[in-house]
Structure 1
Amino acid sequence: MKLIHLILILIFCSLSAQKSLPLDTLKLKEAGDMFADDYGNLYIYKNKDFSLTKYDSLGKQIGKMMLTVPYKVQSVQNPLTVPLFSENAQELKLVDQNLNEIQKVDFKQKFGFIKMAYAEDLQQLWLLDDSAKRLIQYNFRNETTINSYPFDAGFDDLTDLLVFENKVYILTRKSLIVYTLKFEKLFEVPVENGKRFRRENESVLVITKNSILKYIPEKELVKVFEDTDAQIVDKNTLSFFEIKANKLYLYSLEKRTAKEQTKQEPTEETIGQPSEPSVKEPVEKEAEKPAETTEVPEEKKVENTLEKLIEDTSEVQAAGIELYNHQ
Structure 2
Amino acid sequence: MRPFYIILIFLFCTANAQKSLPLDTLKLKEAKDMLADDYGNLYIYKNKDFSFTKYDSLGKQLGKMMLTVPYKVQSVQNPLSLALFSENAQEMKFVDQNMNEIQKIDFRQKFGFIKMAYAEDLQQLWLLDDSTKRLIQYNFRNDTTINSYPFDISFDDLMDMLVFENKVYILTRKHIRIYSLKFEKLFEVPLENGKRFRRENDVILVVSDNSILKYDPEKGMIKIFEDKDAQIVDKNILSYFEIKANKLYLYNLEKIKETKLQTEPETAPPATEPPSEQTVGEEVKKADGDKKESDEKAPDTTLQKLIEDTSEVQAAGV
Alignment of 1:255-270 (within 5 A): 259=270, 263=274, 265-266=276-277
Task: Tell me the CA shift for residue 295 of structure 1.
Answer: 5.6
Give the equivalent residue in structure 2 for 1:236.
236
Task: Tell me the CA shift for residue 216 of structure 1.
Answer: 1.5
Query: Is the 1:211–1:223 Cα contact (8 Å) retained in structure 2?
Result: yes
SS in 2 for 1:263: coil
Which stretch shows the higher mean deviation, 213-222 or 124-133? 213-222
Give the equivalent residue in structure 2 for 1:302.
306
Which stretch shows the higher mean deviation, 153-162 or 12-21? 12-21
Alignment of 1:110-189 (within 5 A): 110-189=110-189
Query: Is the 1:210–1:229 Cα contact (8 Å) retained in structure 2?
Result: yes
Q: Residue by residue, what CA displacement relative to the aligned partner does 1:91-137 show, whole Å, maximum 9, x if unpaired?
A: 00000011100000110100010000000000000000100111100
Q: Give the structure-2-normalised TM-score.
A: 0.84
Structure 1 residues 295 and 11 mapped into 2: Cα distance closer, same or farther (>3 Å)? closer
Root-mean-square deviation (CA), in Å?
3.1
Aligned-partner Cα distance in 2 for 1:142–1:158: 28
Task: Tell me the CA shift for residue 44 of structure 1.
Answer: 0.3
SS in 1 for 2:294: coil
Q: Which amino acid aligns with 1:223?
A: K
Residue ranges of structure 1 left out of the alignment (5+ in a row): 268-279, 315-327
Q: Which amino acid aligns with 1:100?
A: N
Q: Which amino acid aligns with 1:171?
A: L
Give the equivalent residue in structure 2 for 1:287.
294
Structure 1 residues 107 and 284 mapped into 2: Cα distance closer, same or farther (>3 Å)? same
Aligned-partner Cα distance in 1 for 2:271–2:7: 17
Give the equivalent residue in structure 2 for 1:223.
223
Structure 1 residues 59 and 189 mapped into 2: Cα distance closer, same or farther (>3 Å)? same
Q: Which amino acid aligns with 1:128?
A: L
Q: Which amino acid aligns with 2:68?
A: T
Give the equivalent residue in structure 2 for 1:12.
11
Aligned-partner Cα distance in 1 for 2:103–2:112: 21
Q: Residue by residue, what CA displacement relative to the aligned partner does 1:190-243 show, whole Å, maximum 9, x if unpaired?
A: 010111001111111111111111112265211011111111111111111111
Number of residue pairs aligned between Structure 1 and Structure 2: 299
SS in 2 for 1:224: strand
Aligned-partner Cα distance in 1 for 2:71–2:292: 45
Query: Is the 1:186–1:218 Cα contact (8 Å) retained in structure 2?
Result: no
Query: Is the 1:213–1:224 Cα contact (8 Å) retained in structure 2?
Result: yes
Task: Tell me the CA shift for residue 152 of structure 1.
Answer: 1.3
Aligned-partner Cα distance in 1 for 2:9–2:294: 34
Task: State the structure with more CA Rg.
Answer: 1
Structure 1 residues 259 and 215 mapped into 2: Cα distance closer, same or farther (>3 Å)? farther
Q: Which amino acid aligns with 1:177?
A: R
Q: Residue by residue, what CA displacement relative to the aligned partner does 1:13-32 show, whole Å, maximum 9, x if unpaired?
A: 68538866310210101100
Query: Is the 2:54–2:62 Cα contact (8 Å) retained in structure 1?
Result: yes
Q: Give the structure-1-normalised TM-score.
A: 0.82
Aligned-partner Cα distance in 2 for 1:123–1:288: 46
Give the equivalent residue in structure 1 for 2:43.
43
SS in 2 for 1:196: strand
Task: Tell me the CA shift for residue 151 of structure 1.
Answer: 1.0
Aligned-partner Cα distance in 2 for 1:86–1:241: 26
Aligned-partner Cα distance in 1 for 2:296–2:84: 54
Give the equivalent residue in structure 2 for 1:322.
none
SS in 2 for 1:228: coil
Query: Is the 1:251–1:266 Cα contact (8 Å) retained in structure 2?
Result: no
Give the equivalent residue in structure 1 for 2:86.
86
> How many percent of aligned residue pairs carry the same amino acid?
68
Query: Is the 2:169–2:178 Cα contact (8 Å) retained in structure 1?
Result: yes
Aligned-partner Cα distance in 2 for 1:50–1:311: 64
Aligned-partner Cα distance in 2 for 1:294–1:206: 34
Give the equivalent residue in structure 1 for 2:201.
201
Aligned-partner Cα distance in 2 for 1:260–1:231: 23
Q: Which amino acid aligns with 2:292?
A: K
Task: Tell me the CA shift for residue 188 of structure 1.
Answer: 0.9
Give the equivalent residue in structure 1 for 2:252.
252
Which stretch shows the higher mean deviation, 30-39 or 12-21? 12-21
Q: Which amino acid aligns with 1:69?
A: V
Alignment of 1:264-279 (within 5 A): 265-266=276-277
